[in-house]
Structure 1
């Protein structure tokens, strides 16, 4: 009985397993038909991963020797380039040193540096200190430029503590004659009036000689250069590769290293005594050998700098060295053909399943980008019930474009109304006090001067109002805008009797062009009331108009008191808050009106030298 039960149970279990397998296959097929992710995954596994794996295995043994040779050649070229970059920098520093010590004004001051009447610290030689500060300010690599004589120390900006005529740097330079002397990286303490601090620097020195008779002045010029300059060159030269690059001096001491922990240490700790002796061996060209670096096998390259007897060292770890040999070289062509054939087949199958719906979407997207918001992706043909990612993307895209079209139309309608309202509102902000004051002046002038000047003022005012009101249009010709300014200045001369010379430089080809009206008069008014008000002797205003770079440019220049720098920066960076830096409508108001009428790339630009002059540029499009 039990045997019968067992025999019956076995077919049942076998059927369950078969059903389970069928379900897994069905789910896999369903996933393949319904999801792009599974299609791509399957195609990449079959037609990319397998051929590339075979290709890598076959090419490894064939490429190892060739790659090793190329890596060595590359490392030698790399270290030569690094040495050339450092020598170029050092040559620049030496040229700067020559400029300093051959400057006639500096030599004239240094001749008398040890005069008993000189200040013990040379601080009274302000011209020399200023010149040294100039070299520091124009060369960010320099930490300090200074001179040391037997009794004095003159610096530019920073005061170097502990440096005088008793220091080895001074003695060795004096003993070296007319040679450049390079001293390796050391910690120097720099101080100024604000405080002090330590910094890693290496130093270039040279003895100073009289330019006339060639005699030594007993003075040494010092340039302290930041160590990070050399470290940055080393770091950049390896271009992110796992290669260590650093500089050692003739004794094996580390001068520059991207990792500051290695500074001031003897490199024998890294290479051992035997390795260091090979590095310091005098030779032309690149020294290259296999050795140990921090107890790890490595390829070591070194080259001596031309400008000094320091050496640039490159370390390539063996693990990286042989890792590069995994690349395909010789067998790549045979396997590449196979991969291309497989890729073509895979691309054909994949393209048929994927690119057709994508192409439809891209076509509609191009239409939308071109401005056709009514474009939609067509529905699937009858009988296609697959609800894959393309279908979801199509439906969501169509919905998004429909909503976007609705919102754009709504925003356009609102913004268009708002823009018209803003332009009209800004146009209405002209301060009427000027007109009231002018009419009042005309009245009193007519009474006191028997109406002669009053008639002229009335004529000017009539012309001014005619141009201002016009026919209700937003623009006028350049000729009318200049005439409007002339009328305004004529009235102002009657009112205030000022002594201001006004010059015009209007290009003939601009007179017929169009410009937003009433943009020059407020700027001229600002120049008179704020720029030239405090100049009783009078001043000058220059008004120009020219066509430049396909645009119309006005300039209003006055030689008044100028505008403070922070106000100009605020305006030119579009961060102004009130914009009211003049009376009546402000510069910000004019700028905003121009931008609303002409576009955001047009408007005002202000340039001013406080206490000297102010120039306001107006940039407009060419309106015929």
Structure 2
């Protein structure tokens, strides 16, 4: 078995077998990736916006507290007096209890609030805190907020930081808090809202939509405030590169993988919400599809290999005969005799089809050559119908004899001169193409003859632009159609007739219309003429019409020819459209 033949067959079998699988797999992967990429990007943006809204809603509780304890003068006055004075009067105590009840109720109704501190500057170091009431900085477990308040620039009214507190010494783990500071505008003091970091983290955990998704919240200094549980430390990433990158995909050298990122900004707290998803987790389905596609390609390749080997071995003898036939045909040798004792119908049919194909191919070449010669001969014959050469010489002789006899430029002399010009024009390169300008001049010469013959019988109106004159077309295109209008339309009309010749060049098409207001054609005769034009019928008495139509089709193809419309008693329109 020929190895080259086996390799060719292998390619022939494998391409139809593998390409659909490869295309289907590739398209599935591409469509899935495109859908996931757009969907995840939109989902991440929506997710971060929703997360930002939820967290902003939590931290905006500081505004409610600020209204009560800074802008409410009664509450502020009462608490300031209580914190400054050593002795608490009963009236102040009643008001303080009401304030304490409100603040404790407010804090206990919000599961995310760890504690609230209300501090008005006083020399006693006192402040109010939820659950403990009025207490002193020196004997309360959470006092680090006070140092942060003192050390913070006085021009900044609102800021947030993370802190760790331990209420009891026996606690092994500190409680992480996200603390919101609101400096009072009307009083010297601060409102401190301590939010449970675990609650915010749970909120982020519930927002995760993809495996290994990491969600970070960074403050204005790009320090991590909180993240979901699956997140690595944000320091593992280049923060500046992460924030400045204009692309949605970055490469993490620490994790050695590509990551898809989404970032939105919170103007209220100058925070950045960042979502990071590994590309391999994002395109998990696409990766699985890719693996399945490779497996299917391998299976298809093995099956194709086995099938190719079997069929090649089985049909090699028959294919060898076919190759022998083709080689003989290429070398113009006699086709070899094929053994008719084929082992199966498939081999027999293939061998006979190849033999028939080669013979028919040779016949087609001969037929095309003969058809070309016939059409060329027919074109010349049609042209010669209106090109009798001897008439030109005879008319030329008559012209000079009449000049000698009359000695003047009479109408007969002009008619003979014009007719000689027409014959001379038609005899020059009978099969070549001429310009539309020559056709117009030739037709006008012909019309001069007819105007003398049919004096005051008809008028001619030409409509064309100069740009049509250089265009080339077949010779004797316009004159036979004008002659047809005169003899079959105007001649038998009562009164004076009119012929309009309109030539237009547009969109690489030359359009010609011959319009007359002659006697017209009745419906049945018009149908007969159209049928003969379409099916190459006998010329009858419209020889110029049929001759021109045939020459147009031979020159430009069967799609081009004459179109004729007519109404009995109204006139006739002949319409031609040909390519330039």
TM-score range, shorter chain: 0.3 to 0.5
- TM-score (norm: length of structure 1): 0.37
- TM-score (norm: length of structure 2): 0.39
